[in-house]
Structure 1
Amino acid sequence: MPSPKRIGKIEFGLLSPKEIRQMSVKKIVWADTYDDDGFPYPQGLMDLHLGVIDPGLRCKTCSQKAGECPGHFGHIDLAKPVIHVGYTRLIRKLLRVTCRECGRLLLSDEEIEKIIGPEEEMGSESVSEKDVKKERICPHCGEQQLKINFEKPTTFAEITTDERGKKVENKLTPADIRARLEKIPDDDLQKLGIVGRVARPEWTIMTVLPVPPVTMRPSIILENGQRSEDDLTHKLVDIIRINQRFKENQDAGAPQLIIEDLWELLQYHVTTYIDNEVAGCPPARHRSGRPLKTLSQRLKGKDGRFRGSLSGKRVNFSSRTVISPDPNLSVSEVGIPQKIANEMTIPVHVTVFNIEELRRIVRVGPERPDLKSPCGANYVIRPDKRRIRLVKGTGTDDGNLDFVADQLEVGWIVERHLRDGDIVLFNRQPSLHRMSIMAHWVRLMDGKTFRLNPSVCPPYNADFDGDEMNLHIPQTEEARVEA
């Protein structure tokens, strides 16, 4: 077994065009997805090398079936570079603090040393935009600097003056900006707090676009049998179509005006593909008028990946209802309605010591008659993971309680109801500190609300004006010990 390793540091960087191509399994050329027979086009957006979502097909990269194949990235070669909308502030800063001719920082070595100390001692401090004086002559090559104007979302321009002293804006194309960023040496980047080895600034101007795997943007089949593509696929179709038109016009030697319009259109589509809520940029929409949910919208906000899928999830074995006070309860107890106790279950492994007790529990079944009677069970799980639902007899139907109880053996699992003395987790939202979720012992009670001692209200910040609280049932012995 390999010796354990400790992580020394993590470096966050940007994907370089070379890395995007290495990561890619296929160059995507066509905007089409499926042919008339419903088969994915080769080199199209649903190419079988990018992964499979249809049953019966196998991925051409890893030879796995749908459900097993994790998906693989492709790439689109862009006809001209475009700006990554997420890095416009960084680009603006770099253009303003570096020389337009030699790419060096607009500070002499002595001035840099004053700000961040000698190179051997360089700590966490770095040069900021404010540190760069507004004198517009490069101390290294003597080049006159021009003012940089930035207009949202992705327009950069240099301000010059003509013979009559009138200000003129010269628009910088993404290709011009990329050429300027390429000149900045790694040493100067480090002084700005950027590690050139993992994040060269020219990589913020994209020349190649990664295409996410098919598994990340699956198409769905509607009731009428038609396929409906994912929002990301819609956006990628737009990008490829404009990219093709751009290449054709370029090769045909179209006028500069048409080339510039197509370049702006390509920039618009790539911008809305990355983030469809950028200020100063109309959102891309469906025919129905609904804005598309693109990459940034999948991550941001309440329903995004971080808050919606990672930090907060819907869980089983939990319940929620209104709380009310009961001063007769101990501070470490929580009163639970019988209806909830009959739904919430705890898995108990059958052993030689508890088999008789569990047989009695199985014979009670899914409906416990009253609070005083012993608890019942809802399911029994066999060693082969088959789940048997317990059914109480009604009239002519005998149910299966006695049959399952007689069959019960060591190694089976019985999912029994909650009973007095079980340990549960009790939580009130918003969970602001660790006392917002605490363990309590169960006390079964009549009624329909959770009961708790008023003395326990302060840590939960609870009151009884309609507050609701959550109950979570630990499912393993380890979880119960921890609680």
Structure 2
Amino acid sequence: MKAIESLSFSLLSPEQIRKMSAVKVTVPDTYDEDGYPISGGLADQRLGVIDPGLKCRTCGNRMKDCPGHSGHIELVRPVVHAGFGKIIYHLLKATCRKCGRILSDKNTETKTAQTKACPHCGEEQIKVKFIKPTTYYEDKTKLLPNEIRERLERIPDSDAKRLGVKIRPENMVLTVLIVAPVTVRPSITLETGERSEDDLTHKLVDILRINQRLEENVDAGAPQLIIEDLWELLQYHITTYFDNETSGVPPARHRSGRQLKTLFQRLKGKEGRFRYNLSGKRVNFSARTVISPDPTMGINQLGVPEEMASELTLPVNVTSWNKEHVKDFIKAHPTKINYVIRTDGRRKKLTAANMEEVLAEIDAGYRIERQLADGDLVIFNRQPSLHRMSMMCHEVKVLPGKTLRFNICDCPPYNADFDGDEMNIHVPQNEEAQSEAEILMKVENQILSPRDGHPIISLQLDQVTGAYLLTQEDTIVSKEEAFDILDFAGVLPRDDLKNSVKGAELYSQFLPEGLNVTIEGKRGEVRIKNGRLASGVVDGRADHEITRQIFLQLGAKAARDYIDTASKATSRFMTLYGFSLSLDDYELSEAAEQEVREVYKEGRRELNILIKKLRARQLEQLPGKTMRETFEEKTMALLENVRYRTWKVVSEKLNYSQVSVSPGNAIKHNAAILMADSGGRGKPINVTQMCGLVGQQAVRGKRPSSGYKRRILPHFAPGNL
């Protein structure tokens, strides 16, 4: 075995193609009437074998071991490689049409395109015109591929390197075409017994046929017009053989009208060789499906569909210590065992008919493959995997349904949402891998982000709003509802709850004993003493800090328990008390809209005063700023103030309703503002923009500059904006 030291991509010369070729292909056909490969044809046995009964005539191997071998076609006339059309054009422009040297001297800095005569031989130059993909003209005379090749042959190696071409440029005009091995373009046998050839083989047949016709016409002394027509046709077939989506070239099609999939189409795009076959991984013991939220899950848990769990397996090695336990497990759960693997590696499918026989023969050294069960460890992943928390370890909870389900608190590390996202699970196959996953990748150990040390896993959306409403000073919950919430969260109350329970007291049941923290929240100070919420309202910012302090003071398990219980309890609280958002929450009264218009008009008046001062050059300059920079800065400040004043109007005048947070008690609230205030979703500026005005748009902190005549950006027609 030899190690590959390096790999380079280049163009093969005709000599290299002939040297590596196993056969010169001359027959535009594949199989004879008996179904055997035709010698010299496109399925010649020297190109490799794809039929079980045949041996390769190059390496002597059969189908499984033969890698395939290249052949070649000798082209009657040279043909331009369409992939290098633009490079050939630049080379023709930059070099002399007679001597092939670069059209500039080292002592001069004249651009080659501006040179009228060659500085080396004095030959007068004619302008070259390029029509994509492979047509070139000198003045009005078309350059034929053989003329182009002759000109490229005259370019010295030193000049080619100066032009950035590391290969011999004449290799861009093909005289020999490499033929892909049969293994790259295998034929398939249809139900009727007929063979269906690969698209590449169809193209190679076309190339061979036109090549033969061209040769016959050249030998027969046919008129130049006919020869050039056939030459153009050969150019077309070779161009579409490489790339059947070449701009300006009609694609080659089957008789049915289906477009052929040729070389370039097999390499590029999402379904191509690079992204699909090389970068895309397909592995065993993995599964993929759509994700959905489940508020009953803990952050460590993952709901796996029964159908998925029944296919994915974990190996259990049978030893002298656990042999009887394994047999008891098989008797108790025969449908949960997929295979029994003997010491010689043979697999047996466990069925009701052979169960007694299998139980009798199971011994140390055997292995059983059991289905996934509750508590098993799996690695959960969402692509793109951009940081370490894109793959975390979860505990399985087998559930009915078709989707993978998890707590929404786990969304931020995965950057997941539930608009159709799909995620993967991978099942570690031995105890060592499972231990590593649990210790290094368990969700509870990833609560704090390695980026900044702040929680990346914490209460989200409705849960934050629920915590905010629950911990309001006047929130009171009945005893029955309190026990309902605690039961949903799976928490036993630490205190003897009275008939009426304060929201803060109920929230304290989820906080761990021994936690002491003081937090500056948006609504004042939040104080927790020995696991009791003493004062303050828990919003998104406060919850973040509570989670962080629990993790730092009491460890990952305590932080996990807090998130698990608080997320379930707040979700249940929101369900019991209800929380709705509608267009009414964003609707202003006519009087409020008039106030917004007045704020806007006042802003316009102030801005006009600024503009007049600028034009009169009476604007007081800020230190270190020009008058124009001062104007821009003051304008942005003024417009930001307009938006702030609009927010003040919006927040006061929005349609507020009453929400019941305790028996016989309600608070005045607007759902949109409540979400923004609590940190559940959105910001005050979003509400302002939806209800009042969008405000000045900034580009890099400044107003978009009018760098274009009668428009601010190139995307608009002049005079439009």
**For residue 355 of structure 2, what is the aligned residue in structure 1?**
401
C-alpha separation in 2, matches of 1:383 and 1:188: 68
Task: Report the residue type matching 1:411 in the other structure.
Answer: G
Task: Report the residue type matching 1:191 in the other structure.
Answer: R
**For residue 126 of structure 1, what is the aligned residue in structure 2?**
none
Instruction: Using the TM superposition, give the Cα deviation of residue 466 of structure 1 relative to its aligned residue in structure 2, in angstroms.
Output: 5.0
C-alpha separation in 1, matches of 2:274 and 2:324: 47
C-alpha separation in 2, matches of 1:87 and 1:479: 50
Whichever structure has more strand as a proportion of its residues is 1
**For residue 573 of structure 2, what is the aligned residue in structure 1?**
none
**For residue 346 of structure 2, what is the aligned residue in structure 1?**
386
* Aligned with residue 264 of structure 2, among 292, 296, 304: 296
C-alpha separation in 2, matches of 1:479 and 1:205: 55
Contact kept, 8 Å, 1:272 with 1:284, in 2: the verdict is yes
Task: Report the residue type matching 2:405 in the other structure.
Answer: R
Give CA deviations for 1:104-137 in whole Å, capped at 9, x if unaligned.
Answer: 222211357xxxxxxxxxxxxxxxxx96452332
Contact kept, 8 Å, 2:374 with 2:398, in 1: the verdict is no
| Alignment pair present for 1:142 and 2:125 | no
| Alignment pair present for 1:462 and 2:433 | no
Instruction: Using the TM superposition, give the Cα deviation of residue 35 of structure 1 relative to its aligned residue in structure 2, in angstroms.
Output: 1.4
Instruction: Using the TM superposition, give the Cα deviation of residue 266 of structure 1 relative to its aligned residue in structure 2, in angstroms.
Output: 0.8
Give CA deviations for 1:285-317 in whole Å, capped at 9, x if unaligned.
Answer: 111111111111111222221222222254443
Q: Which runs of 5+ in 1 are unaligned?
A: 113-129, 160-168, 368-375, 394-398
5 Å-filtered alignment, 1:83-94, equals 83-94=80-91
* Aligned with residue 243 of structure 1, among 197, 205, 211: 211
Deviates more, 1:400-409 or 1:183-192: 400-409
* Aligned with residue 194 of structure 1, among 165, 169, 178: 165
C-alpha separation in 2, matches of 1:343 and 1:366: 15
**For residue 309 of structure 2, what is the aligned residue in structure 1?**
341
Instruction: Using the TM superposition, give the Cα deviation of residue 206 of structure 1 relative to its aligned residue in structure 2, in angstroms.
Output: 0.6
RMSD between aligned residues: 2.5
Deviates more, 1:273-282 or 1:472-481: 472-481
* Aligned with residue 155 of structure 2, among 173, 184, 205: 184
| Alignment pair present for 1:472 and 2:430 | no
| Alignment pair present for 1:25 and 2:22 | yes
| Alignment pair present for 1:269 and 2:223 | no
Contact kept, 8 Å, 1:359 with 1:406, in 2: the verdict is no
**For residue 631 of structure 2, what is the aligned residue in structure 1?**
none
Instruction: Using the TM superposition, give the Cα deviation of residue 201 of structure 1 relative to its aligned residue in structure 2, in angstroms.
Output: 1.0
C-alpha separation in 2, matches of 1:322 and 1:13: 43
Task: Report the residue type matching 1:410 in the other structure.
Answer: A
SS at the partner of 1:81?
strand
**For residue 175 of structure 1, what is the aligned residue in structure 2?**
146
Whichever structure has more helix as a proportion of its residues is 2
Task: Report the residue type matching 1:379 in the other structure.
Answer: Y
C-alpha separation in 1, matches of 2:433 and 2:182: 38
C-alpha separation in 2, matches of 1:418 and 1:353: 23
Contact kept, 8 Å, 1:336 with 1:442, in 2: the verdict is no
**For residue 39 of structure 1, what is the aligned residue in structure 2?**
36
Identity %, equivalent residues:
56
Instruction: Using the TM superposition, give the Cα deviation of residue 365 of structure 1 relative to its aligned residue in structure 2, in angstroms.
Output: 4.3
Deviates more, 1:408-417 or 1:224-233: 408-417
Give CA deviations for 1:250-309 in whole Å, capped at 9, x if unaligned.
Answer: 111111111111111111111111111111111111111111111111112222212222
C-alpha separation in 2, matches of 1:38 and 1:466: 49
Instruction: Using the TM superposition, give the Cα deviation of residue 52 of structure 1 relative to its aligned residue in structure 2, in angstroms.
Output: 1.2
C-alpha separation in 1, matches of 2:382 and 2:63: 41
SS at the partner of 1:110?
coil
Distance 1:353 1:98, change over 3 A: farther
Distance 1:405 1:251, change over 3 A: same
| Alignment pair present for 1:153 and 2:133 | yes
SS at the partner of 2:278?
helix
| Alignment pair present for 1:103 and 2:100 | yes
Instruction: Using the TM superposition, give the Cα deviation of residue 339 of structure 1 relative to its aligned residue in structure 2, in angstroms.
Output: 4.4
C-alpha separation in 1, matches of 2:292 and 2:73: 60
Contact kept, 8 Å, 1:364 with 1:377, in 2: the verdict is no
Instruction: Using the TM superposition, give the Cα deviation of residue 209 of structure 1 relative to its aligned residue in structure 2, in angstroms.
Output: 0.7
Deviates more, 1:353-362 or 1:252-261: 353-362
SS at the partner of 2:240?
helix
Instruction: Using the TM superposition, give the Cα deviation of residue 477 of structure 1 relative to its aligned residue in structure 2, in angstroms.
Output: 5.5
Contact kept, 8 Å, 1:428 with 1:436, in 2: the verdict is no
SS at the partner of 2:114?
coil
SS at the partner of 2:340?
strand
SS at the partner of 1:109?
coil
C-alpha separation in 2, matches of 1:24 and 1:478: 50
Deviates more, 1:212-221 or 1:347-356: 347-356
**For residue 620 of structure 2, what is the aligned residue in structure 1?**
none
**For residue 418 of structure 1, what is the aligned residue in structure 2?**
372
Instruction: Using the TM superposition, give the Cα deviation of residue 180 of structure 1 relative to its aligned residue in structure 2, in angstroms.
Output: 0.9
Task: Report the residue type matching 1:454 in the other structure.
Answer: I
Instruction: Using the TM superposition, give the Cα deviation of residue 218 of structure 1 relative to its aligned residue in structure 2, in angstroms.
Output: 1.4
C-alpha separation in 2, matches of 1:237 and 1:11: 30
SS at the partner of 1:451?
strand
**For residue 187 of structure 2, what is the aligned residue in structure 1?**
219
